[in-house]
Chain A
Amino acid sequence: MISYDFDYHKPTAIQEALELFQALKKQGKKPVYFSGGTEIITLGRVNELVTDAVIDIKAIPECNTYKQDNRLILGAALTLTNVLDLQSFPFLEKAVAEIADNTARNKITLGGNICANIIYREAVLPLLLTDSRILLASLDGLTEKPISELFHQELQLKDGELLVQVMTDLEAIQLPFYIVKKRRQWGVGYPLITVAALRKQNKVHVAISGLCSFPFRNKQMEDSLNNEQLSIDERIEAALKHIPATVLDDVHGSDAYRIFVLKNTLRDILRVLGGAENDG
């Protein structure tokens, strides 16, 4: 139950949403875009997210797009279940299938997960690895950019900017991938760590969630993992040196245990996606 009150708006066009956002700000309000709303409702309940105006983006047609030509376009307001049902991006599907549970996925949206406050944002991992692009809307117009350019710890949105769509080349969608979510225990829940990997041009690329307080893909880490001069274990040791921030130590597991699990997982990845050649 949320103890504060907020306005509720449901625009039917991008422009209308953007203008509403600015108009509400002018009135001194703190508007937020409301997609699935699952995070706004659950964090709102404990006052970790406070707002006085929500702008529901689910009636905006562009945010509900699904198109496939030479690339796949997914609207930000598609639910995770929609993404799964479309069966057109196996890597992303594998990632979102492990987020929350089936019923919650009927409400959680793709854009909401990418923009969420939650530290995991697991849907981002395949998008980072497939060099996907995102379409953003602001009063200056629409801009399309590689997600890697804008996602640093979190998606760098300007105030009032709206994530409209995610685009991925079909070629990238075809590439071999591997993703595994390890939990503290049993089959549902937040990750201890989630590690995603993609093989492209004989190199393994890796993105990780749950290890630090944000999901990331790190170039030096990937270089180490692909360093054919080294044995598998040496590569992994070298990669660990490039973890970009403090390793989490929380209710899901200690930092040391996360590293233990990460090592095992990286070993599996190198085994499955190649790179084991020099493991003499």
Chain B
Amino acid sequence: MNWSIGKSPTRKDSLEKVTGAAKYTADFIGAQMLHVKLAVSSHAHAKLKKIDTAKAKQVPGVHAIILGPASPLTGDEVKDRPIMASDTVRYYGEPIAAVVADHPFQAKKAAELIEVTYEPLPVINSPKEALQPGATLLHKDLATYEKIPHVYPEANTNIANRTKIRKGNISQGWDESDITIEENFSFSPSDHTAMETRCTIVEIKPDGVVHITSSTQAPYKIKKQFAEIFGLEEGKVVVHAPFVGGGYGGKVATQLEFIAYLASVAVGGKPVKLLYTREEDMVSAPVRIGLDASIKLGATKEGKLTAAEITYLIDSGAYSDKGSMLTKAAAATCTGPYNIENVSCDALCVYTNHPYVTAYRGFSHSEILFVFERAMDILAKKLKMDPLVLREKNVFLPGMTTPTQTVLNHSTVGNLPNCIDKLKDLMNWDEGMVVRVADNKLRVKGISCSWKTSTISGASSGVVLLFNPDGSVNVLSGIVEIGMGTKTILAQLLAERLKMDINKIHVQMEVDTKVIPEHYKTAASRGTLLAGRALLKAADDAVSQLKHIASHVLTCSPDDLEVGYEKVYVRDEPETFVQVKDICYGYEFPNGNSIGGQVIGRGNYTLRHLTNLDYETGAGKSGPEWTVGAQGVEIEFDTTDYTYKLLNAYSVIDIGKVLHYKAAMGQVMGAMSMGLNHASAETFQFTQDAIISSPRLRTYGTFRYGDHPQYHVHFFETPHLDGPYGARGVGENGLIGMPAALANSLSIAAGVELTKLPLTPESIWRAKEGDEEK
């Protein structure tokens, strides 16, 4: 019997969240707290000639004004970013100065009075421009920046990293092909738009312990970076991560925490709060990548892919932050879920004068799939082949090798042919892709396949289980509750393993890095795998402690005992048992002797056997497993004005094992919505000078109730043998095929190959009119 797995127990954060009791970083309010506001750049690229703070200092309530120090430099992989701009600004909205005052309005008023004199520099507005010969260099010192191994900045260029894939023999691939297609694709950076804007509170206690409360997905990374960058002892940096109001990757980056630390230092360690405005959250904080891509595919007449030659230019913005790793992920996943013997791909992380980038749900996968899956449709058209049939002929199966030359097996990759079959069924594929519903209205279907792994290494997670005297258990895990419900899933896993009531399992929501074991970071859909495995190990540890104590009480070998139903019982004689609550704090014999103490289960887990990619060929094991899926979109398209409605969206995903049905559905539908939203509306709009026009929710185009389609979701369960109960990562797969599926449906509907995002009626009109002019 399943105790909990596959069911949908109530989320553990429910009551707090529906009553307004759940506390997010900005909700911590104290009379002692000071407030920080930023002055940010109004230029995308300029020398800072002068920063005049005289007027700002006069504002009542102001305690301190901090300017950006030239060092230390920060950055996850390449240290290329000052905490605030010090002599050059490299993007519009870049923090220049921070004011600390008693009240937010005073800090704001002072920040408004800071006068900055700029000397404009030439602006780089796209990756292509950045690579032009003679292009302005954004980082003259690139060659000397500190960096991790396996990232390859190219001196005297704007290239922060390059990942190459060389699989098979590309010229042979072209020889074998009967048909080739070539196309270019592009889109601009865009925003994460979590509803909670980023916020942090930093305080330095008299004993030198730095307390950071932050809306972060990566509290343990902040701890390490603080120690490293500011020369602090790790034991004296404590990060608190309360509830986080959405992250989608955007809160993996550390940025405002550094600024707030300098602010707190400037006021003698008093607690300071820095809450980004929506505008700052959109442009000053890191964003999602933009992309310029070119792709050439070759295939036989029968539709067997023979060669792929691809260039992905990742618009990393002014700094590299996660840009170099996003580039690596783009290369590793470059062909989508298709087996191609001959592949040559260069993925470049390119500096521009755009806001800098960080992780975004899908970690390059949806961006790359937009390109690859559009190319597949273009190829199918040229082959006069059903686009799903073309995909079926080429999908990855166990035994095939990935672009990074990892051989897949039945555990590491899910069953994509199953997903495609089911998608056909759900979408009523036999009806045809285009149905005319009125004179000027078409109902049109588009599809895409997807695969996702996470190219992270050194990721680990720990879990501690503390028993309470009543036999209930507290779960301590460093996962941040950003909305995915992972902590509820941990409780489910424990309920299943201990065969106990989930209501007697209490999860600690807030993370405190001082007392809670580390979880790498709450990203990359790895929460369930890492923390889940750590939890199961901790459960086993607790079980063996319980059995040990019980074996003395029941005078038998621990090997004869089972734990379940809140008892420890003799396996073949269940009526001989002792209650867990009577032994989980030790056991006192009638004669007064005691054994044992509080049961504390411990467990940890690290991803195994991942390797770095070879610089020349990209060979290496980039991720633990691949979640695959087939997705589709059905739209109603107006042929006169190019407007459209999203009618239906489909996801068939092989998720290994459904642990929590409603949480999985929620993740997938939310991700689908996000993918469609990005593809249909979201983008930053840059002026020629790389100034972002109107960074506001009012004009950005986030979906609202009613813009969303009907969702159709189906799961397959091909177990990932390493995953807890076989589960695979699922947080991102709903998203990553959506942009391609939408673009494919619209390309068919409009009769023109759409190569740019977002797909607004205007962009379709442009493609169409441009097409007619040709």
Contacts and interface: CB of A to CB of B under 8 A. Distances in A.
**A–B touching in complex (CB under 8 Å):** yes
A86 interface: no
A184 B758 CA distance: 11
Interface in B103-145: 104-106, 108-109, 112
A45 to B, nearest CB: 9
Interface stretch (A12-20, A73-81, A89-97, A252-260): A252-260
Interface in B688-713: 693-694, 698-699, 701, 703-704, 706-707
Contacts of A101: 704
B762 A184 contact: yes
Interface in B753-767: 758, 760-762, 765-766
A257 B765 contact: yes
Contacts of A47: 112
B681 A185 contact: yes
B640 A264 contact: yes
Contact of B701 (A186, A250, A254, A260): A186
Contact of B704 (A187, A252, A264): A187
Residue among B693, B701, B707, B762 with most chain A CB within 10 A: B762
Contact of A260 (B704, B706, B758, B765): B765
Interface stretch (A1-9, A23-31, A55-63, A131-139): A1-9
A273 to B, nearest CB: 18
A252 B699 contact: yes
A269 to B, nearest CB: 14
Nearest to A265: B641
Contacts, number: 53
A3 B680 contact: no
B482 to A, nearest CB: 26
B61 to A, nearest CB: 11
A175 interface: no
A1 B104 contact: yes
Given A47-B112, A190-B698, A251-B685, A264 B641 contact: yes
A251 B693 CA distance: 7
Contacts of B704: 101, 186-188
A4 B766 CA distance: 45
A211 to B, nearest CB: 15
A20 B105 CA distance: 27
A252 B106 CA distance: 34
Nearest to B680: A185
B694 A251 contact: yes
Contact of B105 (A2, A186, A187, A254): A2
Contact of A185 (B109, B698, B761): B761
Contacts of A1: 104-105, 108
Interface string B544-582: 000000000000000000000000000000000000000
A254 B761 CA distance: 12
A146 interface: no
Interface residues of B, number: 26
B698 A189 contact: yes
A260 B762 CA distance: 9
A187 B698 CA distance: 12
B707 A186 contact: yes
Given A2-B105, A251-B693, A185 B699 contact: no
Nearest to A46: B279
Nearest to A252: B699
Contact of A187 (B108, B707, B760): B707
B109 A186 contact: no
Contacts of B641: 261, 264
Contacts of A260: 765
A252 B696 CA distance: 13
A189 B698 CA distance: 6
A190 B109 CA distance: 29
Interface in A227-268: 250-254, 257, 260-261, 264
Nearest to A101: B704
Contact of B681 (A2, A186, A264): A186
B760 A190 contact: no
Nearest to A186: B707
Residue among A1, A3, A4, A252 with most chain B CB within 10 A: A3
A254 B762 contact: yes
Contacts of A251: 685, 693-694, 699
A128 B86 CA distance: 54
Interface in A138-189: 184-189
A1 B698 CA distance: 17
B698 A186 contact: no
A19 B707 CA distance: 48
A260 B642 CA distance: 11
A203 B703 CA distance: 39
A187 B762 contact: no
A254 B766 CA distance: 10
A185 B105 contact: no
Contacts of B706: 187
Interface in B79-104: 104
Interface in A76-121: 101
Nearest to B683: A251
A3 B693 CA distance: 23
B701 A184 contact: yes
Contacts of B694: 251
14 contacts: A3-B108, A101-B704, A184-B761, A185-B701, A185-B760, A185-B761, A186-B701, A187-B704, A188-B704, A190-B698, A251-B699, A252-B699, A257-B765, A264-B641
Q: Which are the 7 A-B pairs with shortest beta-carbon distances?
A: A3-B109, A3-B108, A185-B681, A257-B762, A186-B707, A185-B760, A251-B693
Given A185-B758, A254-B762, A264-B641, 15 more contacts: A1-B108, A2-B105, A3-B108, A4-B109, A184-B681, A184-B762, A186-B681, A186-B707, A187-B707, A188-B704, A190-B698, A250-B693, A251-B685, A251-B693, A257-B765
Interface of B: 104-106, 108-109, 112, 640-641, 680-681, 685, 693-694, 698-699, 701, 703-704, 706-707, 758, 760-762, 765-766
